[in-house]
Amino acid sequence: MTESKEPKDVLITDSQHCKEVVSTLNRESVLAVHCLILDKGFIGKLTLVLMGTYSGDVYLFDIQENMDLFTDGGLHSLLESNGILKVMKGCRTDSYTLYKQFKVTLHNVFDVKIADDVIEEHNGRLLHQRLNIQELCEKHSTYSQVLYSNENIEDFKEQSAARTELWGTRPLTADMMSSAANLVRALIPHLYEKLKCCIENNQLEKFLTERIQEEVTCCQDHDRNEQQKQRRKDNLMKVIHSINDQLKTSTKYSDLTVDSDEKLAVDRVNYWEAKDMTESKEPKDVLITDSQHCKEVVSTLNRESVLAVHCLILDKGFIGKLTLVLMGTYSGDVYLFDIQENMDLFTDGGLHSLLESNGILKVMKGCRTDSYTLYKQFKVTLHNVFDVKIADDVIEEHDGRLLHQRLNIQELCEKHSTYSQVLYSRENIEDFKV
């Protein structure tokens, strides 16, 4: 029998040595990966790339000493490989720095923190806990190695490692190398396999992959990044709303359960957001004639999942002239885009892309005329539409009716809705009926 080998920590500064190690690591199917970054300005400076194997060996690639390890040493292709799964914790920061400094785009990533978040969401949680690698291990893993074994090197803790100047110190001491190596040893095999099993048992693989892709491409896909921010904000506000609805007014901060969504939400919500919620807001009507104003409003409306849309058209000849585009939100706010005053609202103001968006459901009444005019005048093709009149026709056909009734919006409301607002409040403006 061969003697069991102690896991080793290997420091790599030479490009040729790096090439040989990369050749060895290319035979692995799973690697633990972590980057140590000096937090200097908006983009941190990468100082070490750590890679660990299932056997416990850890390789410390010293980028601060030799940036050519990425090109001449083959580190670039290893990190971009689809054939090797990279197990990471907090891939967002690492992927951002790798891409900005070295144009490396990570592929085939399993992030243990995102996996934990996805499992928690599956179990009904809305807000993510901020857990470091030590806390993740305590929650999921049987890994018994103390990550921070030296009481006098608290600065090496994972949550501050990316910000401390210690990682810029050379030469690296044995304690520094040991502390860095333990960060990746904690990732595989125990923590990774436990979380992977839980993800598979709950059939969450696709959801996890989508979430990880969001993080990995955060610096390359601005729209996806903004959607992610909005989702987090929406979840935060849902919890704040639930506090208002469910808890007593006498409830104190100290009454909230530690690490509960409610406590996390109170800790994270901005004062102005909380203040806005305490003030009931009347729905507003906003007229838009300026392209820049339009752009700002469109940016806000892009966060909605459903919009009410209607076009007001002057009936002149075969093709009517579009004068106003109206859009309403679930909260009751209505935006009136004055096309007669400024046709550039479609191009410079972003109205064209909003109307063609597949991500927002447009609820309309009589989409045929609106869509015809929008296409003929502005080459806008509507997508993702729910037409209330067509819905009524389909229901009536299903019930055996052959001919469609000609109902205006008032009559449709009287037939199906509990909406009590009088649509035509003045008897002398009958011509304004929809």
Phi, psi of 312 (to 5 degrees): -100, 125
Positive or negative, the CA dihedral 257, 261, 262, 264 is: positive
Q: Which amino acid is at 128?
A: H
Q: What is the pLDDT along the chain (434 residues), one digit of tens a residue?
A: 455 678 899 999 999 999 999 999 999 999 999 999 987 545 679 999 999 999 999 999 999 999 999 999 999 999 999 999 999 998 999 999 999 999 999 999 999 999 999 999 999 998 889 898 989 999 998 765 545 444 434 444 444 444 456 788 899 999 999 999 999 999 999 999 999 999 999 999 999 999 999 999 887 777 777 777 888 888 888 887 777 667 655 566 667 787 788 777 777 776 445 555 544 457 889 999 999 999 999 998 998 889 999 999 987 555 679 999 999 998 889 999 999 999 999 999 999 999 999 889 999 998 999 999 999 999 999 999 999 999 999 999 998 989 888 888 888 888 887 665 645 544 444 444 44
Residue 345 confidence (pLDDT): 97
Q: Which amino acid is at 116?
A: D
Same domain, 172 and 122: yes
Residue 387 confidence (pLDDT): 95
Residue 434 confidence (pLDDT): 44
Residue 13 confidence (pLDDT): 98
Length of the chain: 434
141, 191 in Cβ contact below 8 A? Answer: yes
Positive or negative, the CA dihedral 148, 152, 158, 162 is: negative
DSSP 3-state of 85: strand
Same domain, 261 and 216: no
Residues with Cβ < 8 Å from 423, sequence gap 6 or more? Answer: 409, 410, 413, 434
Same domain, 289 and 381: yes
DSSP 68: G
Same domain, 62 and 138: yes
Domain boundary among 248, 278, 308: 278
Same domain, 204 and 315: no
Domain count, the chain: 4
Cis peptide before 7 (omega within 30 of 0): no
Same domain, 48 and 128: yes
Same domain, 43 and 64: yes
The domain of 156 spans 1-220
Which CATH number goes with the domain that contains 57? 3.30.420.10
Task: Find the angle CA(403)-CA(406)-CA(408) to the nearest 5 degrees.
Answer: 150
